[in-house]
């Protein structure tokens, strides 16, 4: 258990440190802009590039793994969407934000650092595949559902262009595409560039986790809505369980791939839930509350899961095949 705490506490400790700094020193929220820009556009893309470029190209074509993990995210999205529709009397816009809350793990800020620390270098490829295809799925569903729920007429062509642009222009996806080409051609950057990539890669996780804590601290927690515990149960418990079941049914995956998928699914709601809520001006306060509570609860749930994974107490295949 001590090894698990030594693994988990630095990650959650950085979040807590950022949280307390955000509470003690109330700087303008605009001050986070450059830090978030650095994380998304400068530090994390080199991390994904380094992870994937060093991987044999054939390992990047595990489509059954992609199907299993992406389908799991889709199923919990639909489940949370249905719950949101039930609580909000068929109003699609707040229900969509609730669906994102129940399905969108913090796979950008927390995912890579945690999976690599817990499971080693073999977790790199499944981490990257989950990130790319989960984002492609969610950023395809969100604009269409929001457009369907809007009072004005649905602009199908405009919405499709928006979806495609957001997917192809995301810096993580661009870095992944370049890294896949590098893996295929076995390209290695010059020593000076490689050292710079290493510096940026190593800074990604600590800066992202600290920024996550500061951002959560800047959100005011309102009254907890009745549906929120249900969505957090889906996100923190049901999502990893569904991933485990589907990958067990498909079978044939290595330990690091299965455990990476389960761990990524068990992460708390991403900050992008709040970003999307604010973008569409709906469910903003509740989204903020969900991220805050989900992150705090995940300290217990994710640490418990890490114990099961690092001690191999969780069967690789639920059905013993």
Q: What is the pLDDT of residues 137-147, one digit of tens each?
A: 888 888 888 88
Contact 247, 253 (CB under 8 A): yes
Over residues 60-88, the mean pLDDT reads 94
More confident residue, 226 or 215: 226
DSSP 310: H
Contact 291, 298 (CB under 8 A): no
Among the residue ranges 55-64, 90-99, 158-167, the one predicted with the least confidence is 158-167
Distance CA 101, CA 103 (A): 6
Contact 89, 216 (CB under 8 A): no
Distance CA 231, CA 294 (A): 9
Q: Give the pLDDT band (50/70/90) at residue 261.
A: very high
The pTM of the full predicted model, rounded to 2 decimals, is 0.85
| Torsion sign (Cα): 154, 160, 161, 165 | positive
3 token code pair: 């090894």
The pLDDT of residue 43 is 86
The pLDDT of residue 155 is 67
More confident residue, 34 or 315: 315
Q: Give the pLDDT band (50/70/90) at residue 158.
A: confident
Helix (H) or strand (E) holding 74: helix 63-87
- For the domain with range 2-15+30-310, which CATH number is right: 1.20.120, 2.60.40, 1.20.1530, 1.10.10? 1.20.1530
The pLDDT of residue 136 is 83
236 token code pair: 């923190």
Residue 82 has pLDDT above 90, yes or no: yes
> How many CA atoms within 13 Å lie on the side-chain side of 168?
6
More confident residue, 41 or 247: 247
Q: Residue ranges of the domains in the chain?
A: 2-15+30-310
Residue 34 has pLDDT above 90, yes or no: no
Report CA 1 to chain centroid distance, whole Å: 26
Distance CA 170, CA 108 (A): 12
Residue 173 has pLDDT above 80, yes or no: no
The pLDDT of residue 269 is 94
Q: Which residues contact 216 (CB under 8 A, 6 or more apart)?
A: 15, 18, 19, 22, 271, 291, 292, 295
Q: State how far the alpha carbon of 109 is from the alpha carbons of 53, 154, 211, in Å.
A: 20, 33, 9
> How many CA atoms within 13 Å lie on the side-chain side of 125?
22
Residue 275 has pLDDT above 70, yes or no: yes
Residue 321 has pLDDT above 80, yes or no: no
């Amino acid at each position: 258990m001590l090894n698990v705490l030594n693994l988990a506490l630095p990650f959650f400790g950085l979040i807590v440190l950022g949280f307390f700094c955000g509470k003690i020193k109330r700087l303008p929220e605009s001050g986070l802009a450059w830090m978030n820009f650095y994380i998304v556009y400068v530090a994390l893309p080199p991390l994904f590039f380094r992870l994937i470029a060093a991987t044999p190209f054939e390992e990047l074509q595990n489509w059954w793994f992609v199907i299993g993990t992406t389908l799991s995210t889709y199923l919990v999205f639909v489940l949370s969407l249905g719950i949101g529709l039930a609580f909000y009397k068929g109003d699609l816009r707040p229900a969509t934000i609730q669906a994102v809350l129940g399905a969108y793990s913090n796979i950008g800020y927390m995912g890579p650092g945690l999976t690599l620390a817990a499971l080693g270098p073999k977790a790199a490829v499944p981490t990257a595949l989950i990130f790319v295809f989960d984002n492609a799925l969610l950023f395809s569903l969100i604009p269409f559902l929001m457009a369907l729920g809007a009072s004005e007429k649905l602009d199908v062509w405009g919405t499709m262009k928006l979806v495609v642009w957001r997917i192809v222009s995301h810096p993580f996806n661009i870095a992944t595409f370049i890294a896949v080409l590098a893996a295929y051609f076995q390209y290695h950057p010059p020593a000076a560039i490689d050292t710079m990539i290493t510096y940026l890669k190593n800074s990604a996780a600590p800066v992202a986790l600290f920024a996550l804590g500061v951002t959560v601290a800047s959100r005011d927690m309102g009254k907890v809505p009745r549906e929120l515990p249900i969505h957090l149960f889906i996100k923190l418990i049901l999502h990893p369980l569904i991933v485990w079941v589907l990958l067990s049914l498909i079978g044939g995956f290595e330990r690091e791939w299965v455990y990476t998928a389960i761990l990524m699914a068990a992460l708390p709601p991403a900050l992008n839930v709040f970003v999307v809520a604010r973008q569409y001006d709906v469910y903003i306060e509740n989204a903020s509350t969900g991220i805050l509570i989900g992150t705090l609860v995940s300290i217990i749930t994710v640490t418990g899961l890490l114990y099961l994974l690092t001690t191999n107490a969780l069967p690789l295949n639920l059905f013993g095949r």
